[in-house]
Structure 1
Amino acid sequence: MNSIQQANDEKIEQLNQAAIIPGWRFKIGAPEGAQAPDFNDSSWDWVKLGHNWSSKDGEAWFRATLNPPAQVEGIDLTGCRLEVDVFLPIGATIYINGVERYREQSWADTRAIPLLLEEHDTPGQAIALTVRCNQGDGFGFFVSAGLHFSRLADSIFALDLVKSQFAFTHYLAAQDPEKQAVWEQAAAVLDFAALSANRWDDWQSSVEQARAVLSPFETEAKTYTCNLLAHSHIDMNWLWPMQETVDVCRRDFSTMDRLMERYPEYHFSQSQAATYRFMEQDYPEIFECIRRRVAEGRWEITANTWVEGDLNTAAGETLVRQILHARRYIGSKFGVQPLVCWEPDTFGHPATYPQLLQKSGIPFYYFCRAGKRHPLFWWEGPDGSRVLGMQDPLGYGGTNTPSQIVTCMTDFNHRYGIRNALYVYGAGDHGGGGTARDIEAARKIDAAPLMPRALPGTATH
């Protein structure tokens, strides 16, 4: 298994090199006309990402000239879709060839809705990418920026799928010598020399032959199901004002409704009663869309608290009131009583919380931080009250990839002997939610042989 993983990972790394923007010109200040493609930035500093600075010193500018290659590892990129993924936890404006294409007041993150550079890329045509970061309160950090070539993304997905199919069938064969022999026979068919030399047709032919050898695993593989839960993690007023939080909710919730229209299988889960109240007050048409999706069973409300607070710092009465007001509001507006307390970002858990949840009719607790890394466990309070807890071993904010799905599925099965797992995905912090990329990936994973089912799900079904 190690040789298969190594060969695929090495080729994926080679393909990913094309996504890297090697360096940026950087300047603090307000240089006039710096967004123009022909602006002279030769005196600016040369930096690599992630790069941090003091935003109190003024606005900051980053400039890079992109020269997309004609081919990478034998894959022709002419005419493919080219996007850029930018992540900046500070407000920014992005210019493409001098034209403003993106602006966010407090948090610039194009991972949920990628920024298009070229619908049909023309190799040899330079692209000027300029990012102007707002002046702030001292926190300035350009985390990442990378190119996304549609054709390379397809190839990377295909390589990850092969690796994941072999990883999953290797797991299934672990206790059966006959199955192990079949697996070894299939692994021997893979033409790693062709992969290394970028003879893609020969490599793919060997993959199809290997999959045929693994066909005895197909039925068993589909008896495992990874339930994919899409959500939008929305921090309340962390690095931005309240009105921006409302705008994030409007953006995300309207986007989720459009994704449901486009993808009939798509489900979405959202916590925090306050986010629904924002829509009822400011965007009643979106609020009605949510009500309709809840009635359809495709929008799961996981809001058992008014906001996702830091539970370890709040008084007991505060915790009770959070639950009381949230459940009254959600029940009156949507006719449901959520079963899970959704707290992915709290940095602590009061020992008495199982008692409060149990007495409130909430049997499940989901979290990511400050646990003992047990994905499923009974959490018992001092009085003996218990709720079923889940600490997500992969954390919130995942993306749907074959390897992540298999990792999640095998971990749950190895620990607990069950053939169902929960995988949470969706861009977050400043919202984002599930994306079309994620949904399309889930469809491919679910349809692929030798993989677990990858089905849209909710926290409690």
Structure 2
Amino acid sequence: KLALAIGDSWGGLFDCAWFHFSGRIPESATGLPVVLILDVNGEMLVVDSLGNPLRGLTNGSSVYDYSLGTPGKRILPVTSRAEAGQIIDVWADAGCNDLFGNLQNNGTVKEAFIAVCNEEVRGLYYDYEVLLDFLKVLPPNSPRYHQVLTALNDATWRLAHGCTNVEAQAARARLAPVLARRGGDPMLNISAIGHAHMDLGWLWPIRETKRKGARTFATALENMERYPNYIFGASQPQLFQWMKEDYPELYERIKQKISEGRIEPQGAMWVEADTNLSGAEALVRQVLLGKRFFQKEFGAEINYLWLPDVFGYSAALPQILKKSGVDYFMTQKMSWNQVNIFPHHSFYWQGIDGSAVLAHMLPEETYNSPAGPRAVMKIEDNYKDKGVSEHALMLFGIGDGGGGPGEEHLERLERIQNLAGLSPVRQETAACFFEQWAKDAERSDGTARSFGTRGFPAWVGELYLERHSGTLTTEAKNKWYNRRMEQALRELEWTAIFAGGEYPSARLEAIWREVLLYQFHDILPGSSIKRVYDESLARYREMFEEVEELTCRAEDRLA
């Protein structure tokens, strides 16, 4: 047990620690909303008195694309109306890591303060932020530009002598009519869903991914209490399985929100898997086990494949998807091409045997949208197929342990959802988006357009990514074991069937699930840190020995 002060160090990369923050609310905060500002230069999961997750907190030192927003969820609400002398007693499980494994200055207590939150000033901040962002995308000679600019200037003059509650109210009153102008251009409709892309093993060990998942889901659940329109989506049944095993109380709350339509399970694979190096049988199992989990746990039938960040897509996928009841496909990765710019955002993707699925590549070309006016305008400007489609998808939030969408994303969306001068933005599930968007690929009389002739354009064959080509050869031992496991599992299944007797179905599914986990698009390709491979290779050896033993037993029965 260590007593720490601001500036003290507590650990190095991937160390873990429990923090206990205690104090008393001062008399000066009586009757006011009080928060804690906490930053230990790591990621924290705040828990209740029983150890159940309440909220995730992240640090502000991550290396990040600041055009997408500022990372760091450091504010923990304590009470909306404080009492003098009220005791603060907060426990948090911390990991010494950040968004991308490039942690600056190791574990250090940077902030631990009691603060008063002035709700009027907070609201004013987001009013200003949204309107200033709006100015950057409006034509400088347009009436709307000058209306917004004049309102901002007038509001600023009202803050000339300070920013007390009264002055903030006056400034907001001046901005309110500009923000109240509704009626976005309905020629393009944007569906927005909260997102936290989660790499199951990359610049951190798999162990830490489980904790990142708990922090992310806890934050999503807490934000849903404050923002009634908020819908959050999460892919990868493996992540849900970890929540079920390690955080059962949190998992029950996740299930409840899924039943309410507030959390959307997105699929349809067990993990967001590599499709270049995984075998065909493994790709089929990814979809089989992924869809089966969501059906069994949540009663959800998933008919779309969610692979925003995979390093290229095999031409075999459309055939596998269509035979698995999957009609739609989503990515954004093809926007990373270095030489040949991918020509479509909404298109038919045809596979080897002629099977085709409808594919959508995010026009914003990111799954970390800041959800502000510039994001909406980028979708409008960038959308290559807006001549044939009136719908586009936006994924907002900060993934990989950034905790997903924060207050800032949801405050922006409340202000821009139907703001005059922008396309309308509606928070809804990806399933709702696909259903509406697919109608754009039909004739006005509801019959399907002839493939490749009208409506959505067509792309035939592999979706080749012009980056990350080194991942086809690096970490060769990991790739070798993946292929050996695929072959060994096939031999075991055939032998066990012919041998008769008790079929090892439970063990086979458990082993397949772990093999599918290691086919995640950073693990199998070889773009993760050394620790991920040290740990996965150890498990590969153990699993291979177990499969060999089960095969030998089956062969003995045959003999």
| Fold shared, TM-score > 0.5 on shorter chain | yes
Q: Indicate the residue corresponding to 2:322 in structure 1.
A: 358
In the alignment, the residues of structure 2 paired with residue 191 and residue 395 of structure 1 have an alpha-carbon distance, to the nearest angstrom, of 29
Are the counterparts in 1 of residues 193 and 395 from structure 2 also a CA contact under 8 Å?
A: yes
Q: Indicate the residue corresponding to 2:359 in structure 1.
A: 389
**Structure 1 residues 86 and 338 mapped into 2: Cα distance closer, same or farther (>3 Å)?**
farther
Deviation at 1:404, TM superposition (A): 0.9
Q: Indicate the residue corresponding to 1:452 in structure 2.
A: 423
**Structure 1 residues 226 and 201 mapped into 2: Cα distance closer, same or farther (>3 Å)?**
farther
Q: Indicate the residue corresponding to 2:71 in structure 1.
A: 111
Are the counterparts in 2 of residues 232 and 431 from structure 1 also a CA contact under 8 Å?
A: yes
Q: 440, 453, 458: which one pairs with 2:411?
A: 440
Deviation at 1:85, TM superposition (A): 8.7
**Structure 1 residues 436 and 38 mapped into 2: Cα distance closer, same or farther (>3 Å)?**
closer
Are the counterparts in 2 of residues 250 and 279 from structure 1 also a CA contact under 8 Å?
A: yes
Matched, 1:297 2:268: no
Q: Indicate the residue corresponding to 2:27 in structure 1.
A: none
SS of residue paired to 1:428: coil
Matched, 1:349 2:316: no
SS of residue paired to 1:341: strand
SS of residue paired to 1:415: coil
Matched, 1:235 2:205: no
Deviation at 1:287, TM superposition (A): 2.2
SS of residue paired to 2:360: strand
In the alignment, the residues of structure 1 paired with residue 148 and residue 71 of structure 2 have an alpha-carbon distance, to the nearest angstrom, of 34
SS of residue paired to 2:225: helix
Deviation at 1:196, TM superposition (A): 12
TM-score by length of 1: 0.61
Matched, 1:402 2:362: no
Letter of the 1:326 counterpart: G
Deviation at 1:260, TM superposition (A): 2.0
Deviation at 1:220, TM superposition (A): 5.6
**Structure 1 residues 86 and 184 mapped into 2: Cα distance closer, same or farther (>3 Å)?**
farther
CA deviations on 1:156-211 (whole Å, 9 max, x unpaired) are: 754564466568776xxxxxxxxx9xx74555667689959975679x89x97996
Letter of the 1:442 counterpart: L
Q: Indicate the residue corresponding to 1:43 in structure 2.
A: none
CA RMSD of aligned residues (A): 5.1
Matches within 5 A, 1:253-402: 253-370=217-334, 372-373=341-342, 374-392=344-362, 393-402=364-373
**Structure 1 residues 323 and 185 mapped into 2: Cα distance closer, same or farther (>3 Å)?**
closer
**Structure 1 residues 135 and 321 mapped into 2: Cα distance closer, same or farther (>3 Å)?**
closer
Letter of the 1:445 counterpart: I
Are the counterparts in 2 of residues 235 and 429 from structure 1 also a CA contact under 8 Å?
A: yes
Deviation at 1:429, TM superposition (A): 1.7
**Structure 1 residues 282 and 85 mapped into 2: Cα distance closer, same or farther (>3 Å)?**
closer
SS of residue paired to 2:258: helix
CA deviations on 1:316-357 (whole Å, 9 max, x unpaired) are: 111111111111121111111212211122112111111111
In the alignment, the residues of structure 2 paired with residue 375 and residue 431 of structure 1 have an alpha-carbon distance, to the nearest angstrom, of 27
Are the counterparts in 2 of residues 163 and 403 from structure 1 also a CA contact under 8 Å?
A: no
**Structure 1 residues 87 and 359 mapped into 2: Cα distance closer, same or farther (>3 Å)?**
farther
CA deviations on 1:72-129 (whole Å, 9 max, x unpaired) are: xxxxxxx9999799988xx89xxxxxxxxx9989x9699352357xx9xxxxxxxxxx
In the alignment, the residues of structure 1 paired with residue 234 and residue 389 of structure 2 have an alpha-carbon distance, to the nearest angstrom, of 26
Deviation at 1:405, TM superposition (A): 2.0
In the alignment, the residues of structure 2 paired with residue 368 and residue 441 of structure 1 have an alpha-carbon distance, to the nearest angstrom, of 23
Deviation at 1:416, TM superposition (A): 2.9
Are the counterparts in 1 of residues 151 and 178 from structure 2 also a CA contact under 8 Å?
A: no
Q: Indicate the residue corresponding to 2:85 in structure 1.
A: none
**Structure 1 residues 142 and 369 mapped into 2: Cα distance closer, same or farther (>3 Å)?**
farther
Are the counterparts in 1 of residues 191 and 425 from structure 2 also a CA contact under 8 Å?
A: yes
SS of residue paired to 2:204: coil
Are the counterparts in 2 of residues 194 and 200 from structure 1 also a CA contact under 8 Å?
A: no
Q: Indicate the residue corresponding to 2:400 in structure 1.
A: 429
Deviation at 1:445, TM superposition (A): 1.4
Q: Which moved more, 1:157-166 or 1:271-280?
A: 157-166
Corresponding pairs, count: 358
Higher strand share: 1
**Structure 1 residues 379 and 210 mapped into 2: Cα distance closer, same or farther (>3 Å)?**
same
Q: Indicate the residue corresponding to 1:65 in structure 2.
A: none
Q: Which moved more, 1:231-240 or 1:369-378?
A: 369-378
In the alignment, the residues of structure 2 paired with residue 244 and residue 415 of structure 1 have an alpha-carbon distance, to the nearest angstrom, of 41
- Unpaired stretches in structure 1, ≥5 consecutive residues: 1-32, 40-53, 57-78, 93-101, 120-132, 171-179
SS of residue paired to 1:326: helix
TM-score by length of 2: 0.51
Among the aligned pairs, what percent are the same residue? 26
In the alignment, the residues of structure 2 paired with residue 104 and residue 265 of structure 1 have an alpha-carbon distance, to the nearest angstrom, of 24
Are the counterparts in 2 of residues 229 and 267 from structure 1 also a CA contact under 8 Å?
A: yes
Larger-Rg structure: 2
